[in-house]
Each structure stands twice: as structure tokens, then as C-alpha cells.
Chain A
Amino acid sequence: MALIDLVVEKIVKIPLESKDKPDVLRELVQILKDAGEIDDFDAVLKAVQDREDKQSTGLQDSIAVPHCKTTVVSSLKLAIGIAPQGIDFDSIDGKPSKLFFLLLASPDLSGPHVEALAEIAKLAGSKAFCKALVNADNAREVVELMKGE
């Protein structure tokens, strides 16, 4: 399944309400729970937190890509959260993160997982596009931007 197939309004939240990193991770996982994409909130959150404990996935230019493999999902799961105000996420440039892509995958889907992460990395390379996402008014606008509508 292509990344674009995962982008629907119910997995997008703007603005995020969290003020710090632990809360952002919880809020992103909650998006998937509320969307009916996952059942075991605690197992997913632990897997995401365990990966973040190794090294933050907060990149430069206000982007963060928390991700992990977990057996509690059977397909790729994406959540997009946007915090226009910025949240401290221990990013490599020390700046607050504004655009969050949470990606989960089953361990036996490593190929599609890597390709989806690579697509996110390519999107993150476009500063103008990321700025447009951060300035979006609502989830529908984010979906339209992602699909180039």
C-alpha cells in the first residue's frame, strides 16, 4: 500500500494539544486509536517510546518522524499531527517540532515500511510544502495538500 493511500482526514490532527514530547507521542497514538486503526494503545505507545529512547526522531526544520515495528498491527499505520506553535521534541537542530508523522508497521512488512518512511523523508525535504502543511487550517486541507489537489 502506498503512503498516499493512508492519508485520510481521520488520521490527521491539527492543532495538537500537547506541550511536551511524552504527551505528543500519546496524542499521536491516540489519533490511531480514535480512528479505529489500533486496538492496543499501551503496546503501541511503549513500542514508539522505546524507539524514541534510543534517539529522538526529531529532525531538522521542525519535522519529527516517530516510528517503530510492532506485532500489534498487521499493516502500515500513519498518523499526522501538526503543532503550529512548536513542541520541544529533542530534535537534532534543537528547534521545536511542528510536523509529526507517526508510522507503525508489522515486523513482516519491513520493505513497505522502509519505502513509506523514505516517502516521508522526501516530503520533509520540501521546506515550502512543510510550511504549507503547518499553516493548514484543518485536516481536510492537509489531506488535499498531500494529494496535490
Chain B
Amino acid sequence: MSNPIKKIMVYIDGTEQSVTAAQYAICLASSSGAELIAHYVINTRAAEDLLKARIFLKDEQVEYEHDMEADAERYLNYVNELAMKKGLSIIKKRSKGNVHKEIVDAVNEDEIDLLVIGELSRIRSRRDELYDETERAMRTVPCSVLVVKDEERVWEMYESLT
């Protein structure tokens, strides 16, 4: 049977959990030969909502969007460096908008076989307002999803990758 996983996408959002997910995805892509795409979504939708709710000033919205652009560049470059250290090349992907929708769209457009995400909150709120965007993406993408846990173990796995 040929490798069923040809394209992996890892979602990066600037959290430590997403960096751990990237390390795991690098290990997975390296061992499977799958193509790896690192995707960062600049959450302009939330910034717009905060402006409408008057939590943000217009200047603040613009400033945060610039900051998020810079974060996207920095974190994608960092993941790229992690991959290059292990002799792997990745595709960096950046988009803007509503996070879970952008992830779903990217999974469909790029025909992703596996979405890799960082560990979700261990606290399960019953309040709908407290579902985070990554959790929403996990529930709505059409492909299989791998939730990466155990930062130390993943780090050891990444470090031992030759």
C-alpha cells in the first residue's frame, strides 16, 4: 500500500503548543516523505470584531494586524528553520481572515490528508463562546486531524531525528 499521507498541514498560531505540533509534523513528514505545509492565519476577523465591539480603537486594530503579520513571518521562519535543521523543506503559507474558515479552505484547496494542531485546552467549557478557533477548525475540517501532546516527548523525538 502506498503512503496514504501525501500532504500534511500544521497550523501555527504563535503558541508553544503549535511549535510542538510543528516539531511533530516535521518528524512525521520526514519519516513518511509527505509534503509539509506550515499555515499561519492572521486573525483579521477577530480584530474587526473587536473594533466593532469598541474594545479596539481603529489605530489599535491596524497596529495589532501589523503585529500579527510580523508574528506570522517570525513563526513561519522559525518552523522553516526547525525543518531545515532536519534536512526538510516546507511550504510556508499565510492567510488572513476567520481562523477556522481559513484553515478549512486551505485544507480543501491544498488537498491536505492530515491536519496537525497543537494541544487544545484540557478544560472543557460548556460555553460555546469559549471554543477556541483551533478547536473549531478541528471539528470542521474534512481531513483527519492529529492533536499533538507531550511537549517533552515530542522535543526528544525531534532532537533524535537525523
Contact = CB atoms under 8 A, between A and B. Distances in A.
Interface stretch (B1-9, B128-136, B142-150, B151-159): B128-136
Given A146-B127, A147-B123, A108 B132 contact: no
Interface string A115-136: 1011111111110010000000
B28 interface: no
Given A119-B129, A119-B130, A111 B123 contact: no
Given A54-B57, A126-B129, A107 B67 contact: yes
B55 A111 contact: no
A55 B49 CA distance: 17
Contacts of A123: 127, 129-130
Interface stretch (B30-38, B39-47, B79-87, B105-113): B39-47
Nearest to B118: A1
A55 B57 contact: yes
A15 interface: no
Given A3-B130, A4-B121, A110-B68, A121 B55 contact: yes
Contacts of B50: 114, 117-118, 121
A117 to B, nearest CB: 6
8 contacts: A107-B67, A108-B67, A108-B71, A109-B14, A111-B42, A118-B49, A126-B129, A148-B130
Interface of A: 1-5, 54-55, 57, 59, 65, 67, 69, 92, 107-115, 117-126, 129, 146-149
Interface of B: 13-15, 17, 42-43, 46-47, 49-50, 53-57, 59-60, 64, 67-68, 71-72, 74, 99, 120-123, 125-127, 129-130, 132-133, 135
A-B pairs with lowest CB-CB distance, top 6 = A148-B126, A110-B67, A118-B46, A122-B129, A2-B121, A121-B53
